[in-house]
Amino acid sequence: MSDQEQPQIYLITPPEFELSQFAPRLAAVLDAHDIACLRLALATTSEERIARAADAIREIAHARDVAVVVQSHIGLAERLGLDGVHLTDGARSVRKARKALGADAIVGAFCAQSRHEGMSAGEAGADYVAFGPVGASGLGDGAQAEPELFQWWSEMIEIPVVAEGALDAAQIGALAPVTDFFGIGDEIWSGDDPAGALGALIRAMG
């Protein structure tokens, strides 16, 4: 990525939300900022709940020319009229997703902190690879994706990379030269003004 290009924002929904409350908050964020892609990342396994949420956020996002991907559920992506899928198991399901959804769908892979897994996902046909968490998080084993990983990837690999997980303004400023996207979710949704919170993080890119 050239120094002139600022990373784009890849927005991630909360793992749980009340649709009637979340929809206007989402619309306000999309109206206030240029968002590259939106990930529906509900923790529930209820197809009915995911489908209802997908219908609502797809309408909001597509009206603003924002692509929508669903986390993990390859089978639901096409059925719900979404633009693709975000896989959480590294490279393992990339070929399957690509075969199921076709060449035009977005297929992304979260690869934790593994350079090898990221390369494997890229070779299998992923459109982007995500590494994280960048900041300290209580999730998993506490491991973090170090700045060196993004530095190396940006120098060696053509596939776009997403930095996500427990980001703050300082980390965003430091990683802006070496990542293509910032995956932003919990960082903004917990407050009263998610659009304002996102604006502050975007300004931190410098």
**Which CATH number fits the domain that encloses residue 58?**
3.20.20.70
Kindly state whether residue 1 falls inside one of the protein's structural domains: no
Averaged pLDDT score across all residues of the chain:
95
> How many separate domains does the chain show?
1
Kindly state whether residue 87 falls inside one of the protein's structural domains: yes
Residue whose C-alpha is closest to residue 135's, from 151, 113, 157: 113
Q: Over 90: is that where the pLDDT of 2 sits?
A: no
pLDDT at position 126 is 98
Kindly state whether residue 3 falls inside one of the protein's structural domains: no
pLDDT in tens, 96-118: 999 999 999 999 999 999 999 99
pLDDT at position 139 is 67
Is the C-alpha dihedral spanning 14, 69, 151, 139 positive or negative? positive
Kindly state whether residue 2 falls inside one of the protein's structural domains: no
Q: Which residues pair with 8 in a beta bridge?
A: 181
Give the range of the structural domain holding residue 125, as residue numbers without chain letter.
Answer: 8-203
Report the predicted TM-score, pTM, of the whole model to 2 decimal places: 0.96
pLDDT in tens, 167-193: 999 999 999 999 999 999 999 999 999
pLDDT at position 5 is 83
Question: How far is Cα 157 from Cα 179, in angstroms, rounded to an integer?
Answer: 11
Q: From the CB of residue 190, how many other CB atoms can be counted at a distance below 10 Å?
A: 10
pLDDT at position 135 is 95
Question: How far is Cα 100 from Cα 201, in angstroms, rounded to an integer?
Answer: 36
Mean pLDDT for 125-144 is 90
Q: Is residue 131 very low, low, confident or very high in pLDDT (cuts 50, 70, 90)?
A: very high
Question: How far is Cα 143 from Cα 136, in angstroms, rounded to an integer?
Answer: 8
